[in-house]
Homo-oligomer: A and B are copies of this chain.
Amino acid sequence: MTITSFNPPRRTLMGPGPSDISPQVLAALSKPTIGHLDPLFIGMMDELKTLLQYAFQTKNDITMAVSAPGSAGMETCFVNLVEPGETVIVCINGVFGNRMKENVERLGATAVVVDGEWGRAVDPAQLDACLKAHPEAKFVAFVHAETSTGALSDAKTLCAIAKQHDCLTIVDAVTSLGGVELRVDDWQIDAIYSGSQKCLSCVPGLSPVSFSPAAVEKIKARTTKVQSWFLDQTLVMDYWADNAGGKRSYHHTAPVNSLYALHESLLNLYNEGLENAWKRHADQHKALATGLAELGIKFIVPESERLPQLNAVYIPEGIDDVNVRSYLLNEFNLEIGAGLGAFAGKAWRIGLMGYSAKNENVLLCLAALKQALK
């Protein structure tokens, strides 16, 4: 066996995540590991919770990071809130809406689909009609920022409609958190999950989640056990929250170093300010969009529904998808994303997420694409 230490090059990450990671966050990642029940670590977790509450714009006490990627965060929300036999309205306008449906069905509940167009926002009128036709529904689930298509849905309006029908709301904010406006409390979001490796620009592997008091009440009122022991929030809460006078219960060994990195990346976001971060993403998106138009590259999503942090564009006719992406990677260490699901082979996804959303990345991407398309 001739395996040696792995030495990755420095790539510029402009795909659908992971995004570029700042030197401070990488440095935080490799600080000395301490125990997951060390008082200093518990103190760090308390700060992390405060920082997550800021990023989510929530006062929710149950706000934490699931010790696994965003898809585990999604599963955490569904398996804890929804019990077998209950009905969930799932709005699908891309890959991740489909995954929500899978989650609902695998826990023995019923998914009623609001079938939206890929590349468009979820249609509020369609949701309203579906809710009227399904008074038995207890939940509305949708993806705020569809990473597979680059479409941004109007979470505030969708949640308001759900609330008119007394539904709890479950929102996928994997790609939206930190990149576009998101206000968990103001918008009446009951359960939300995100990912560490998108606009937070932390390493992949963690999923921030938050549950409203109504969601916590629903979880506590369960008559069945959560089917996943690992994701059971009634157990995890005892580790993240103070119980019995400050004693933390051991549930599983927290990913200590990754949480250091998340703490640092959220601190960066706090220091920049959420509104400033949202504006930076919007500004860089505009610069990129202008340059792409000059190259004759067209967006999939109509302008008013576009995500600034995830630019899904059609591959120009006659251009070989894989050749171009390999060229960008090999010649310029630049990663852009392939199409996913219905857009596989037809689209590129150019990310401007977190630390990747900066002038030099936009310039490099446009100049490199220009050469690649020659």
Q: Do residues A34 and B11 form an inter-chain contact, with CB atoms below 8 A?
A: yes
Q: Do residues B5 and A227 form an inter-chain contact, with CB atoms below 8 A?
A: no
Q: Do residues A36 and B10 form an inter-chain contact, with CB atoms below 8 A?
A: no
**Nearest CB in chain B: distance from A350 CB, A:** 13
Q: Which of B6, B103, B105, B106 contacts A28 (CB 8 A)?
A: B6
Copies of this chain, tallied across the complex = 2
**Nearest CB in chain B: distance from A369 CB, A:** 17
Q: Do residues A227 and B6 form an inter-chain contact, with CB atoms below 8 A?
A: no
- In the bound complex, how far is the Cα of B30 from the Cα of A205, in angstroms? 14
Q: Do residues B67 and A69 form an inter-chain contact, with CB atoms below 8 A?
A: yes
**Would you call A54 an interface residue if the criterion is a C-beta within 8 Å of the partner chain's C-beta atoms?**
yes
Whether A1 contacts B54 in the complex (CB less than 8 A), given A8-B41, A225-B106, A335-B34, comes out as: yes
Whether A5 contacts B225 in the complex (CB less than 8 A), given A29-B257, A32-B11, comes out as: no
Q: Do residues A260 and B34 form an inter-chain contact, with CB atoms below 8 A?
A: no
Closest B residue, CB atoms, query A71? B252
Chain B residues in 8 Å Cβ range of A70: 252-253
* Residues in A88-133 with C-beta less than 8 Å from chain B: 99, 102-103, 105-107
Q: Which residues of A contact B (CB under 8 A)?
A: 1, 3-11, 13, 15, 17-18, 20-21, 24, 26-41, 44, 47, 50-51, 54, 67-72, 74-75, 99, 102-103, 105-107, 195, 197, 203-205, 225-230, 250-258, 260, 263-264, 267, 270, 329, 335, 338, 340
- 19 A-B contact pairs sorted by A residue (CB < 8 Å): A1-B54, A3-B270, A6-B260, A8-B38, A9-B40, A10-B32, A11-B33, A26-B30, A29-B30, A33-B203, A67-B69, A70-B253, A71-B229, A71-B252, A75-B230, A106-B227, A203-B258, A204-B255, A255-B258
19 more A-B residue pairs beyond the given contacts A203-B255, A205-B205, with a C-beta to C-beta distance below 8 A: A3-B50, A3-B267, A4-B267, A5-B24, A5-B263, A6-B31, A8-B34, A18-B33, A26-B32, A36-B204, A67-B72, A70-B253, A197-B253, A204-B255, A204-B257, A205-B254, A250-B340, A257-B258, A258-B258
